Structure 1
């Protein structure tokens, strides 16, 4: 049996959650998705999301990410697994002329998210809603589960990584991609 605290185990169970959530959209299970969007009440769909956690102490992370997924996918027919960290995704927030760090609202949102010791669920909800309204890809749902599962791990430094991902200059980003593709 694998240790639920190991990153591989967390990643594997997070990928199972993403696959299950995407299947809900593909199979048009709108009732389950609606249950996941209900903040105040427990539901069978929410409990199922929590059961996928390899470590039951991380149930809340799974249930809340399922909520964020359902918020993003409201009325959507084709599911998206998303990509990148929340910091990378937040770079896509804002009008086409000023996204990410160039958008004051996106900058304030990321600052609020990365400054807290506790997981900032309300601000993450706002960020996912902004991505949806800007018609931009969400963060990788699998990575979001992994990152939030390690939120309080000082060695993982999740909030710091998200801030770096968000504020990384475009020039540096292009240079790193070009070097990575040539090797």
Structure 2
């Protein structure tokens, strides 16, 4: 571990300790959006590749620190899936539950759409991070040309997923089923 102490400097090593480097979701999103802006399609394709870790996946994992490396690699996969073929990055908005309200067709959107309800139910019922279902949400939003969830918030929520006191799944459900503000107008 002496390399890490040297890289951080004495003050950084004292501040963060040598056992664990902090994660930085904002820096990951900055890097990913720059890949989209600069049309680094090969690197984005590497992030979507399954199997042996690619250079791009490993680089994305660095932003997760020691503890959240794999989570950051997988979150960058979701980002790359959404941005496949796009030349302008989307930072997204809302939580995943709020973003899922944008799933649907015709007059049936969000809680009025049975497919969206089933998808959100699968996501929030999972005790572990439901990667496959998250991919379905992101893919659905992409296919509908709807904004994704706010990427940095999504990552922070996933970091806290198994912390019951954070109530991430519950908060996503609340956001998904929130009353439509336009009804009162």
TM class by shorter chain equals 0.7 to 0.9
- State the shift of 1:61 in Å: 1.3
| TM-score, length-scaled by structure 2 | 0.86
Deviation, structure 1 residue 41: 2.5
Aligned counterpart, 1:142: 152
- The structure having more radius of gyration, on CA atoms, is 2
1 or 2 for the larger relative contact order (CA 8 Å, sep ≥6)?
1
Residue number in structure 2 paired with 1:17: 28
Shift of 1:96: 4.0
> Residue in 2 aligned with 1:115?
125
What TM-score, normalized by structure 1, do the two folds share? Answer: 0.86
Aligned to 1:181: none
Q: How do 1:1-183 residues align onto structure 2 when only pairs under 5 Å count?
A: 1-2=15-16, 10=23, 13-54=24-65, 56-171=66-181
**1:51-82 CA distance string (max 9 Å, x none):** 0114x221111111100000000000000111
* Deviation at residue 97 of structure 1 after TM alignment: 1.7
Change (3 A) 1:19 1:174: farther
Q: Which runs of 5+ in 2 are unaligned?
A: 1-14
CA deviation after TM superposition for structure 1 residue 147, in Å: 0.2
Give the match's secondary structure for 1:74: coil
Which deviations, in whole Å up to 9, do the C-alpha atoms of 1:113-137 show, x marking residues without a partner? 0001000000000110000011100
Which whole-Å CA distance do the structure 2 matches of 1:51 and 1:145 have between them?
A: 14
